[in-house]
Chains A and B, each alone.
Chain A
Amino acid sequence: MNWLIAILQPALFVALAPLLAGFMKFCKCRLQNRRAPSLLQPYRDLLKLTRKQPVISEDASWLFCVAPYIIFTAMVLAASVVPFIAVDLPTSAEADVIVLVGFFAFARFFLALAGLDIGTAFGGMGSSREMTISSLAEPAMLMAVFTLTMTASTTNLSGAIEHVLNEGVVLRPSFVFALFALLLVAVAETGRIPVDNPTTHLELTMIHEAMILEYSGRHLALIEWASQLKFMLYGVLISNIFFPWGIAESFGLSALGYGLLVISGKLILLCIFLAFAETAVAKMRLFRVQEYLGFAYLLGLLGMLSHIILESTR
């Protein structure tokens, strides 16, 4: 039974990721006085792409064709580690939050290589920028995560969430700092405004899109789906670490149903918040990103220090 849920949960996660992307688009459109496409549009796009014949450049190597599968698999694995509607699943012991960051790094490594594979200027540009931004974002993320794991004295996500649940509602200054740091990192890592704009194809600004410019058909579908998954992963991570209340602690049907309802509510709120932020802020120059991520790192560091100075039991 436990293992069944452990397999069904990531499956549900993967299935719902396009819906979240559709909802995000919906919120943004409504805020910008536009008519939104249907919530199911991302599914239709993915289905259309899988039915199309992929076109591959003659300069492409095997790595170009394999990379989408690797990227998608890494994201699926990440989805199996992050507690979504229930904690304490058997899969949660297979990897902790550092491994989760490792999965993201794995996907990014291959995405950047795929960008370089064709040998066009765009691909190289995207890879270079992606690796730059991620190498600044990763330490900021780990710093925020370390604050949490030091409080819970475990790096296991499920264990950390249970720890927060058992503590009850306590206002920890370190968590506030870590929350904001993680939010900033999530925006940067999922390629949203103000760091990257997923809807643009302008060479001066694009990062993620530049790397996947050569992809088509099912390969593109996999990569798009993987980035939707990544967006949802960060969303679930932030909502469940900092606001874990409502997550299912037992595997009864009612508890699971309630857990699903609660996490949907949390994600909807987060999406609305992000849509507001994206509408209000303009995209920044590439060379301002380091200041932005430096700020995220600083917040993470402050969170860590406030944990050590204010909250440590010693």
Chain B
Amino acid sequence: MILFLAYSAVLLSFASGGVAIAHLQFPNVQKKSVFWLLGTSGLMAIFAGLGELIYPEIRLDTLNLGLPWLPWHVHFDGLSAFFFLIIGIAVFAVSLYAPHYTHHEQKDAQGFAVLSLFTGLFVAGMMLVLLADDAFMFMIAWELMSVASYFLVAFQHENPANRRAAFLYLLMAEVGALLIILAFGVVASFADGFTFDALRASTIPTTWMSIAFVLALMGFGMKAGLVPIHVWLPEAHPVAPSHISALMSGVMLKVALYGLIRFCFDLLPEVHWQWGVVLLIVGTISALSGILYAMMQQNLKRLLAYSSVENIGIIVMVLGLSMIFLANHQNELAALALLAALFHAFNHALFKNLLFLGAGMIHHQTHELNIDMLGGLIKRMPKTSVIFLIGCMSISSLPLFNGFVSEWLAFQTALQVDVLDNAVLRSLIPVSAAALALTAALAAACFVKVFGLIFLGVPRSRHAEKAKEIEDKGMLAAPAMLAFLCFFFGIFPSSILHLIDNVAKQLLGSNLPAQASLSLFSLAPVATQNASYSAPLILIGAVCAAGVCFWLLTRNSETTMRIAPTWDCGFGGLTPRMQYTSSAFTMPLRRIFATAFLIDEKVEKTMRENTKLNVADVRYTLHIQDHCWVRVYQPIERGVNVVAKQVGRIQTGNIRTYLGYSLATLILLLWVVSL
């Protein structure tokens, strides 16, 4: 039954793509049905995921697809189901949001068909990755996901910058896929067959296991966006339509994490603490540099993309903790770390989806994504602003919202290091916890900037001034639903943590520590006397305190508020340009962390009448580049170009030379055959 739901989710998303094509031929087919099918697919995925999580059981199946002697093996266990749930929620939200968001694209029948077809394929591909039980099917589904999303990134291909971003994405996706194939290949060469069962049963030397781990980390990390292989993310996310970037950032990155978890925790026969340390370090670097770069961005979607790098970093860091605990036979703590990592993945899917959809709403109403051109939207788009504020509060991990709970769990896990014997680990983990604290604080600063500059203050451009609230119900309902979920899982986190605990049980064979309690009102991950967090009580306390204080202060009717113009220090003429801009807001942090960026800052002054003091005009330009791009990618690019030039020498353009090459090849082959 549950497997049937999962299959129908996949088929429905295929069908939604198919209907879009059918619409080209038969105009009778309603465009709306595309979104209906996609939404139903999302719902089915939610049901399938929840069903499996509530009644955990490993469900297996074989499909006679693909090559005749290599059928597709399908499985559906807790881990797959959990990620199915994430996909389901995101796809459902997108299906509510997209009908109005894409109404421009819908005017162009062909463009709309392309967009819908590849959206359907993309979603189906992601679901199939989760269902795969052999390396063969896994890679086919993986490629379906990558290639379909390439076409979505390249959707607005009229702009050369978009084509460049899409090509970069495709290139990195394919290199990543190659690495994953190699990783599977390494394990498969010690196993008999490509099924996951065979891979699990393989006996593989430690060296080769470590090689497979590194390959998998690079392959999946390239998709997930770990530093330094994250550069496609900030390029590709801003150019795709917003609901697609929401899916890519909220869900596809999670699928890559699924791959990493499946490969390391499930397929490889054992884990080593050294790998955990690698994950911990890579995750910490990703988290810190992700948020530092996010802070410096002016384009909202680019900023959100960098913030995804940060969050993926946090998740990988906590996965590293889990691996360290697992290798030290602390299975209960490993389960706790896995719980924190998966819950953060879930939360990130919710709020990042919400923020990307919010970015789409802002762009839809103002045609502007540059933070420095917005402002004052809280009065013009009140509903959107509340929804977006909840997203910002969740991602800044403020108490009462879901982001806080997962970070709190991560801290709790990191503080359990005293059980480890290795002193290096015991000092390394708290340091990374402190880096996590820095990341969280910087994220709060970053999203104060985002919300403050976009929604508060005075509009900085005409577009922002003329902006109106979104009227379409679906387009508001989708992010509103996600905002509600962010709040709900912030107050009652145990409702989902129970389900994730089942995943940990299936994967690691161990639940949370015995004294832990996940009751509805209080959360105690290790033991009640060690740490507890009770969001409902805090909420009640907060409402009471704020209520009493509000009642006491507003009783006196003589003190009703008076509205007056802003005080301009007596000089007059306050203009919107006097407000802080994005680069002004982040200037202190840019200066403090100057070594983390490649900053190109120029101030050009033109003087009036050749005097030295009388400035006529000032031009300020600021350009911030990613270290990785200059230090890693440009040398590689130059290297490839040099090699290509050398190889190009054999191409003389003369037909006789080419005939000579053919002859030489033929003789070589004959010689090989004769051996």
Contacts and interface: CB of A to CB of B under 8 A. Distances in A.
Interface of A: 50-59, 61-63, 65, 69-70, 72-74, 76-77, 80, 91, 93-96, 98-99, 102-103, 105-106, 108-109, 112-113, 115-121, 123-125, 127-129, 131-132, 134-139, 142-143, 146, 149-150, 153-156, 159, 214, 217-218, 221-222, 286-287, 290, 297, 300-301, 304-305, 308-309, 312, 314
Nearest to A218: B553
Given A51-B559, A57-B564, A102-B404, A69 B550 contact: yes
Contacts of B363: none
Given A96-B533, A154-B530, A312-B418, 14 more contacts: A55-B561, A55-B564, A93-B532, A105-B399, A109-B448, A115-B452, A117-B457, A120-B566, A131-B449, A139-B437, A150-B417, A214-B567, A218-B553, A301-B434
A131 B218 CA distance: 35
Given A57-B564, A116-B453, A146-B430, A156 B531 contact: yes
B396 A119 contact: no
Residue of A72, A116, A135 with highest tally of chain B CB at under 10 A: A135
B534 interface: yes
19 contacts: A56-B562, A69-B550, A72-B545, A91-B541, A94-B541, A99-B399, A116-B456, A116-B457, A120-B578, A135-B438, A135-B444, A136-B438, A139-B435, A155-B412, A214-B566, A217-B559, A217-B561, A218-B553, A308-B427
Interface string B583-610: 0111111011000000000000000000
B379 interface: yes
Nearest to B585: A128
A227 to B, nearest CB: 15
A93 B534 CA distance: 8
Interface in B530-564: 530-534, 537-538, 541-542, 545-546, 549-550, 553-554, 556, 558-564
B585 A124 contact: yes
Nearest to B379: A61
Given A93-B532, A105-B398, A131-B445, A119 B458 contact: yes
Contact of B408 (A99, A119, A120, A300): A99
B25 to A, nearest CB: 50
A69 B549 contact: yes
Interface string B404-419: 1000100110010110
Nearest to A106: B398
Contacts of A146: 415, 430, 433-434
A116 B448 contact: yes
Contacts of A121: 578-580
A81 to B, nearest CB: 9
B580 to A, nearest CB: 3
Residue of A74, A121, A137, A153 with highest tally of chain B CB at under 10 A: A153
A56 B561 contact: yes
B411 A98 contact: yes
A109 B393 contact: yes
B398 to A, nearest CB: 5
Contacts of A96: 531-533
B35 interface: no
Residue of B448, B542, B556, B578 with highest tally of chain A CB at under 10 A: B448
A132 B592 contact: yes
Given A93-B534, A113-B448, A312-B426, A127 B563 contact: no
4 nearest CB pairs, A to B: A124-B580, A119-B457, A116-B452, A135-B441
B440 to A, nearest CB: 7
B103 to A, nearest CB: 29
A79 B61 CA distance: 57
Question: Secondary structure at chain B's binding surface: helix, strand, loop or mixed?
Answer: helix
Given A58-B563, A127-B580, A129-B588, A150 B444 contact: no
A55 B563 CA distance: 6
B561 A109 contact: no
A54 B448 contact: no
A59 B566 contact: yes
B353 interface: no
Nearest to A286: B588
A156 B529 contact: yes
A76 B448 CA distance: 23
Contact of A128 (B379, B533, B541, B586): B586
Contacts of B449: 131
A239 to B, nearest CB: 23
Nearest to B447: A109
B493 interface: no
A131 B430 contact: no
A130 to B, nearest CB: 9
B225 interface: no
A218 B559 contact: yes
A146 B553 CA distance: 39
Given A54-B562, A94-B538, A128-B584, A155 B531 contact: yes
B360 interface: no
Contacts of B376: 59, 119
Contacts of B445: 131-132, 134-135
Given A102-B404, A119-B579, A138-B441, A53 B558 contact: yes
Contact of B375 (A115, A119, A128, A300): A119
B580 A113 contact: no
Contacts of B586: 128
Contacts of A217: 559, 561
A217 B559 CA distance: 8
A74 B538 CA distance: 10
Contact of B452 (A103, A112, A142, A222): A112
Contacts of A142: 411, 433-434, 437
Contacts of A222: 549, 553
B534 A95 contact: yes
Contacts of A102: 397-399, 404, 408
A56 B566 CA distance: 8
B312 interface: no
A56 B563 contact: yes
A242 to B, nearest CB: 19
Contacts of B437: 138-139, 142-143
Given A73-B546, A106-B399, A138 B412 contact: no
B559 A135 contact: no
A290 B434 CA distance: 16
A300 B398 contact: no
B431 interface: yes
A134 B441 contact: yes
A208 to B, nearest CB: 15
A189 to B, nearest CB: 12
A159 B529 contact: yes
Contact of A94 (B389, B530, B534): B534
A204 B187 CA distance: 62
B11 interface: no
A118 B457 contact: yes
A69 B435 contact: no
Interface in B372-431: 375-376, 378-379, 389, 393, 396-400, 404, 408, 411-412, 415, 417-418, 421, 423, 426-427, 430-431
Contacts of B591: 287
Nearest to A133: B588
Nearest to A14: B545
B573 interface: no
B531 A131 contact: no
Nearest to A56: B561
Contacts of A309: 423, 427
Contact of A77 (B545, B560, B580): B545
